[in-house]
Amino acid sequence: MVSAEIHQYFVELENFFATAGNTPNDINSLECRLRHIEDHRSIIGTFLLLMSNVQQNVAERILCIHLEGIYESLREMSAEITLYNISAVLLIYMRDLGFSWAAISRMLSVNIRTLYNHRRQLGLVDYGNFINISDNDLNRLIAEVLSQTPGSGETYVTGSLRGRGIRVQRWRVREHLRIVDPVGRALRGRRAIQRRVYNISVPNQVHIDTNHKLNPWGFVFHGGIDGYSRCITYLRCCTDNRASTALQLFQGAVDLFGLPHHVRGDGGRENIDIARFMIQNRGANRGSFMVGRSVHNQRIERLWGELNRVVSAYFKDLFLFMENVAVLDSTDPVHIMALHHVYLPRINRSVYEFVSQWNHHSLRTMESNSPLQLWTVGMLLLHEDQRLNHVHVQQQQLYHQHQWDAVLGHINPLNDDGNHGIELFLTVCHLLQMNN
């Protein structure tokens, strides 16, 4: 039925283009044609949003396949390893993670000169070098990153660019931040981060928790981070704090990063299903799920501090502003429903950007390796029984369709309305009130 409706829509769109030049030259006909154009733009925007979600899912599956390829390649290597056991896919993936060629040669136990000759045969001599990007394009990319994560500094912006496959010198990012965001750069320099010593010897030890910074408006962040590498395994903003939601997000991370050796979390009810899942798959009486106060869970608390600064602060200030000017009434269920429809995708778009910049940013205390690099190297050194990455979980829909989809389906919440989403919010409120 859905396929037939989509096919019918594109037939109508084809007819629309075919008759576009035959519109009578009168005000009513032209205004009608203009309304049809706006309707088509909105529907096509929804298609693009769905395609973006599919693209993200495919990228995550490709990452999982690449990681499995690394494990298989290293298991097959021996003292008599031959040059051609090293595939181009493996080299490209490790280079995309930011490893230098010298580091790759050490991890693969191949002489740097031998690796160079192999790269030359594969056409990868210059792969992963700094790219030649114009100042205008770099300014545009940095502005795009800052629009989604306004609190990002030099290190995080560089991480975002690396996540996009763009490698530029740090000094260029620093100079362009002075142009694009001079005030933000000055304010960030005033904050000194107080660090404590916290060591975990091996990866695959995940710390989980929830963040309620936006809880007054019904938003909850669920997250997990590897204690050794600081690699974020999952992070999502949701509109509930149920154990089933936390488990679905955790299972998605298991599909991508493998089953953790240990999980640490607090005694909240939202962690019950994750604890059962870990005990079922890792066993009882071995610390599969360790309970402790969240304030002592330093890795995840450090993550929440950065998330609050880079992402949540912007939306918190925006929602408070909307309340102060009487645009938003947080006690009105219709307003909250409209707020969730418009801003949940926007928050998660910023969260996705934040995860990319966090996992690719360099850690000064870890020889400037990124969390994703540390996690990859650490996992390669683990014993096979500690990896156990072959637990498959069935993915489910996180949010069910509801009765308002027919009313709100044509509104793309990620459209730029020129007013931080407030105009879209007012439109959704009006539609909900009319159909209530």
Q: Residues 262-281: pLDDT tens digits?
A: 898 888 888 899 999 999 98
Answer with the residue of higher pLDDT: 210 or 166. Answer: 210
pLDDT of residue 131: 75
Identify the pLDDT of residue 120: 84
Region 109-117: what's the mean pLDDT? Answer: 84
Burial classification of residue 193, based on how many CB atoms lie within 10 Å of its CB (0-12 exposed, 13-18 middle, 19 or more buried): exposed
pLDDT at 400: 41
How many Cβ atoms sit within 10 Å of the Cβ of residue 145?
25
Q: What is the pLDDT of residue 380?
A: 76
Chain segment 249-263, per-residue pLDDT in tens:
999 999 888 898 889
205-387: CATH topology: Nucleotidyltransferase; domain 5 (3.30.420)
**Whether pLDDT at 154 is above 60:** yes
Query: Who wins on pLDDT, 52 or 145?
Result: 145
Q: Which residue has the higher pLDDT, 396 or 116?
A: 116
Residue 294 pLDDT > 80, yes or no? no
> In a 3-state reduction of DSSP, which class is residue 213?
coil
Q: Is the pLDDT of residue 420 over 50?
A: yes
Nearest-angstrom CA–CA distance, 431 and 426: 9
Residue spans per domain, the chain = 1-76, 135-182, 205-387
When mean pLDDT is compared across 33-37, 198-202, 274-278, the lowest value belongs to 198-202
Q: What is the pLDDT of residue 383?
A: 52
Q: In this model, does residue 299 exceed pLDDT 50? A: yes
pLDDT over 80 at 202, yes or no: no
Q: Checking DSSP bridges between strand 262-265 and strand 289-291, what pairing results, if any?
A: parallel
Q: pTM for this structure? A: 0.67
Q: Which of 133-142, 209-218, 323-332 has the lowest mean pLDDT?
A: 133-142
Confidence class of residue 385 from pLDDT cuts 50, 70 and 90?
A: very low
3-state class (DSSP) for residue 113: helix
DSSP 230: -
End-to-end CA distance of the chain: 27
Average pLDDT value for the chain: 79
**Contact assessment for residue 198 and residue 214, using Cβ atoms and an 8 Å cutoff:** no
Q: Which residue is associated with the tokens 């493998």?
A: 258
Question: Sign of the CA dihedral 55, 58, 64, 69?
Answer: negative
Please indicate whether residue 353 or residue 150 has the higher confidence score (pLDDT). Answer: 353
pLDDT at residue 340 in the model: 92
Quick one: pLDDT at residue 152?
Answer: 76
Helix axes of 371-381 and 27-76: crossing angle, nearest 10 degrees? 30
